[in-house]
Structure 1
Amino acid sequence: MSDDTPGSPAWRAASRNDLLAFARRSVRPEGGFIWLDDTGQPDRDKGLELWINARMTYVFSLAHLAGESDALPLAEHGVAALSTLFHDDTFGGWYDEIGFDGTPVDTAKRCYGHAFVLLAAATAAAAGAEGAQALLAEAGEVHAHRFWEPTAGRCLEQLSEDWSVADAYRGANSNMHTVEAYLVAGDVTGDPQWHDRALAICERIIGIHARSHEWRIPEHYDEDWTPVPEFNHEIVADPFRPYGATPGHAFEWSRLLVQLAAAMADPKPWMIEAAEALFAQAVQDTTEDDTPGLAYTTNWHGEPVVRERFHWVIAEAVLAAEALHASSGKALYAGLASRWWSEIDDYFVDPATGSWHHELAPSMAVSARTWRGKPDAYHAFNALTLPDLPLAPSAALTIGREQ
């Protein structure tokens, strides 16, 4: 008899099947993946977003590796969109958003979207998707030579279309997803520079800045990498650059540190220490009572600012708890993972569609203050997939294989 307890392997497998069924609705016959509304219908008011298309390419690449019979064509559909629709054939790199007619809506080149292109390309290459090796080669070249800042040991945030002008803003969020992409790129290509650079980013943003801010991560910086703690204090619920600390990112960095340490022959002792400290502070700041879900942001004293509950935050929380439990064996992490899986099952999983509600109000009713619809399956798919795999190497090399 299968165990249908929320978070069990059988429960995750069934939930992953439902999620993928919903995700297939995002396929756009003319190319790429479209933003979906709450019911799974295309949101025609949204253009084609690079981050969504890269994430969905990643998801379907892993689904193919896991044995989904129809997933390879969907991964190749994504590779084709990244190689053509979003690609800047004049200056190289990828546009963040394009209209349905193929016209770029925004010509700036951003690290955030390019990190997901690298993640998708590496995973699709591991899946054997047509065109993925060429996409991986270009994505690696662009990230290494356009965004990587050797003297800072971190990545630039944004450059102009022709790469000639760098924006003064620096961000932790894009660098966090760069760490994720570099982990996978290093595993798939065997090139040690990617893991070395992932470690360099972690050493600075976590080992220096988060440590000096009581393990609440400064998200926003100026061009000299000096934290700007009051950034966006008047736009507190921004979906990508909110004011204050973002506990969901603390959970995500925690998990990435555990994975990076597992991938290293001689991991540095501070990495697991930092992973546990980030996790502990995020738990303290978001689970002060028995209210389900986890707040989006807090101020620098740990008091919630945006109390809405996002699906990606609890997905990263449960992933961090699972990773830390796998690494340490401590019952604390297993207990929190069990609590959060139950909350995911009770509140976030939408039984009508199989997808997860992307945002809930503090009352746990569906909300759209910051996010509308259900744009992609990346965070939920990771949460339903990675706990069944070893911490290293990456899922692209281990999913679907006997352990």
Structure 2
Amino acid sequence: MADAAPPVEGGFAAWADLDSHRRWLLAEGQRLLDHYGGARVPAGFATLGNDGTMVDDTAQGIITARMVHCYALASLMGVPATAPLADHALDALLDGPLRDRRHDGWFADASGSSRKKAYLHAFVALAGASAAMAGRPRGTELLQAAARVIDERFWIAGEEVLQPSFAADWTDPEAYRGANCCMHGTEACLALADATGEDRWLDRALSLARRFGHDIPSAHDGRLPEHFDPDWTLLPDYGADLPTDDTRPFGLTPGHFAEWAGLLLKVEAACLTRGRTAPEWLLGDAVRLFDNAMAHGWAPDGKPGMVYTIDWADRVSVPNRAYWVQAETANTALMLMRRTGEARYEGVYRMVWDYIAATLIDRTAGGWRQEVDADGTLSGVVYPTREDLYHDFQATVIPLIPVSASVAGGLRAQHSERIDRLAA
């Protein structure tokens, strides 16, 4: 195994508090915003290839929703020319072929009918919430439409989780329960809570966090299995026939340990902001999940970077390094450093960004390389194209704000504090 993060001495200056690092993050974020603007098509946003050119001009639902979110964040940050891109994606989701006017909800892409997936609809809700908080003209319209679909179709009362998918006409509910759609559902619920002020969305986020961030890891040595049947029986062989699937791979995904750890800290922040008592397990489980992510996922083959998946014996299953895994690891290390003050998390934050800058940032074609092998060579086993800037752009924004329930809410609160200071 490669060396752990280099030690950072007590009394350290956190990179995220240095003006030079913050300027670097802003510059990298601007580079990403510029690059992915090239994915705009009439019906939303489409897919770019590794050379930065369009692969297919068919608008994609998840990409378009994530573009609303990211360009809305950028508009909150005062970045010129980003609000029109957010508005274009909003119009596409509300009026274009991505929306199912017959049965309600949204399609995977603009080419026609598809199963209705909670994973996609969580991002549509996130898009609406972020756009509303950014003051985009149709943000609240999308928020309300997406929230209604989640309420009426996807939320399973009693289980307090999201139903993963249905047929296009809302028949044939999938006989499966999974962590990935509920992870992004948690993020969406936190953003909806910030945007609407409604406690029910925080209650839902807390329920999801309890099941996937506390109950399940507590039963599996601090690790997070993701695949279950409707009775919540573990499906250990799920995905064995397609271990490189991009949303439901076989085995365990250390990057999701880290991402869920970050969500637990965001739920804690949401509780405290609203004057509610935050359960103690939120911080404890965040630490345990993140430490397990690093112990089992970072450089287990002696090469830097966090691997995509491991098996049930903690052996590497898919060794490739995906861009989002590194981004979410950096995000959570940063939040844990701010929450605990522990220098070891600052060391991880620096180490991961060093890896991203040296290996993933594409200074020729733009954007980030979505996936590399253990030696840092471009690969496409899991991600053959580069889809959008959601994970990488957020990684440039999260260090600029305090630990917050949602990124848009954190930016909005930061702006309000500045206005109050100027008015004082």
TM over 0.5: yes
Separation in structure 1 between the aligned mates of residue 213 and residue 234 of structure 2, nearest angstrom: 13
Secondary structure of 1:248 counterpart: helix
Residue 21 (str. 1) matches residue 28 (str. 2): no
1:290-301 → structure 2 map (5 Å cutoff): 290-301=302-313
Separation in structure 2 between the aligned mates of residue 359 and residue 335 of structure 1, nearest angstrom: 23
Give the corresponding residue for 1:72: 83
Is the CA contact 1:216–1:300 (under 8 Å) kept in the aligned structure 2?
no
Secondary structure of 1:48 counterpart: coil
Give the corresponding residue for 2:22: 9
Secondary structure of 1:98 counterpart: coil
Return 209-218 or 275-284, whichever deviates more.
209-218
Give 1:40 deviation, angstroms. Answer: 1.6
Separation in structure 1 between the aligned mates of residue 410 and residue 267 of structure 2, nearest angstrom: 15
Q: Identify if the C-alpha distance between structure 1 residues 112 and 6 changes in structure 2 by more than 3 Å, giving closer, same or farther.
A: farther
1:337 aligns with one of 331, 334, 349: 349
Q: Identify if the C-alpha distance between structure 1 residues 246 and 7 changes in structure 2 by more than 3 Å, giving closer, same or farther.
A: farther
Residue 58 (str. 1) matches residue 69 (str. 2): yes
Is the CA contact 1:176–1:253 (under 8 Å) kept in the aligned structure 2?
yes
Give the corresponding residue for 1:131: 138
Give 1:8 deviation, angstroms. Answer: 1.9
CA RMSD of aligned residues (A): 1.8
Separation in structure 1 between the aligned mates of residue 316 and residue 234 of structure 2, nearest angstrom: 20
Identity across the alignment (%): 33
Query: Could you give the per-residue CA deviations for residues 259-317 of structure 1, whole angstroms, max 9, x where no partner exists?
Result: 11011021000011110000011100023465211100001222110000000000000
Query: Which runs of 4 or more aligned residues in structure 1 lie more than 3 Å from their structure 2 counterparts after TM superposition?
Result: 3-7
Give the corresponding residue for 1:258: 265
Is the CA contact 1:261–1:267 (under 8 Å) kept in the aligned structure 2?
yes
Secondary structure of 2:320 counterpart: strand
Give the corresponding residue for 1:398: 410
Separation in structure 2 between the aligned mates of residue 252 and residue 393 of structure 1, nearest angstrom: 14
Give 1:163 deviation, angstroms. Answer: 1.6
Residue 210 (str. 1) matches residue 211 (str. 2): no
Query: Could you give the per-residue CA deviations for residues 118-144 of structure 1, whole angstroms, max 9, x where no partner exists?
Result: 000110111122222111111111111
1:379 aligns with one of 391, 398, 401: 391
Q: Identify if the C-alpha distance between structure 1 residues 289 and 367 changes in structure 2 by more than 3 Å, giving closer, same or farther.
A: closer
Q: Which amino acid aligns with 1:177?
A: H
Separation in structure 1 between the aligned mates of residue 147 and residue 248 of structure 2, nearest angstrom: 25
Secondary structure of 1:277 counterpart: helix
Separation in structure 2 between the aligned mates of residue 79 and residue 344 of structure 1, nearest angstrom: 31
Q: Which amino acid aligns with 1:27?
A: R
Is the CA contact 2:195–2:409 (under 8 Å) kept in the aligned structure 1?
yes
Give the corresponding residue for 2:161: 154
Return 225-234 or 329-338, whichever deviates more.
225-234
Secondary structure of 2:74 counterpart: helix
Secondary structure of 2:233 counterpart: coil
Q: Identify if the C-alpha distance between structure 1 residues 304 and 281 changes in structure 2 by more than 3 Å, giving closer, same or farther.
A: same
Secondary structure of 1:295 counterpart: coil
Is the CA contact 1:294–1:313 (under 8 Å) kept in the aligned structure 2?
yes
Separation in structure 1 between the aligned mates of residue 409 and residue 215 of structure 2, nearest angstrom: 31
Q: Identify if the C-alpha distance between structure 1 residues 306 and 385 changes in structure 2 by more than 3 Å, giving closer, same or farther.
A: same
Query: Could you give the per-residue CA deviations for residues 350-386 of structure 1, whole angstroms, max 9, x where no partner exists?
Result: 1113311000011110001111221100000111101
Q: Which amino acid aligns with 1:17?
A: Q
Is the CA contact 1:6–1:345 (under 8 Å) kept in the aligned structure 2?
no
Q: Which amino acid aligns with 1:233?
A: A
Give 1:98 deviation, angstroms. Answer: 2.2
Q: Which amino acid aligns with 2:139?
A: A
Is the CA contact 1:251–1:282 (under 8 Å) kept in the aligned structure 2?
yes
Query: Could you give the per-residue CA deviations for residues 93-131 of structure 1, whole angstroms, max 9, x where no partner exists?
Result: 1111222xxxx1x42110000000000011011112222
Q: Identify if the C-alpha distance between structure 1 residues 263 and 7 changes in structure 2 by more than 3 Å, giving closer, same or farther.
A: farther
2:329 aligns with one of 311, 317, 333: 317
Give the corresponding residue for 2:422: none
Q: Identify if the C-alpha distance between structure 1 residues 232 and 169 changes in structure 2 by more than 3 Å, giving closer, same or farther.
A: same
2:293 aligns with one of 275, 282, 292: 282
Separation in structure 1 between the aligned mates of residue 405 and residue 262 of structure 2, nearest angstrom: 14
Return 264-273 or 111-120, whichever deviates more.
264-273
Is the CA contact 2:334–2:399 (under 8 Å) kept in the aligned structure 1?
yes
Residue 271 (str. 1) matches residue 278 (str. 2): no
Q: Identify if the C-alpha distance between structure 1 residues 312 and 18 changes in structure 2 by more than 3 Å, giving closer, same or farther.
A: same
Give the corresponding residue for 2:101: 89
Give 1:7 deviation, angstroms. Answer: 9.1
1:304 aligns with one of 316, 320, 345: 316
Secondary structure of 2:45 counterpart: coil
Is the CA contact 1:7–1:338 (under 8 Å) kept in the aligned structure 2?
no
Is the CA contact 1:47–1:97 (under 8 Å) kept in the aligned structure 2?
yes
Separation in structure 2 between the aligned mates of residue 96 and residue 53 of structure 1, nearest angstrom: 10
Is the CA contact 2:44–2:60 (under 8 Å) kept in the aligned structure 1?
no
Separation in structure 2 between the aligned mates of residue 132 and residue 289 of structure 1, nearest angstrom: 45
Q: Identify if the C-alpha distance between structure 1 residues 7 and 57 changes in structure 2 by more than 3 Å, giving closer, same or farther.
A: farther
Is the CA contact 1:18–1:353 (under 8 Å) kept in the aligned structure 2?
no
Give the corresponding residue for 2:369: 357
Separation in structure 2 between the aligned mates of residue 130 and residue 13 of structure 1, nearest angstrom: 26
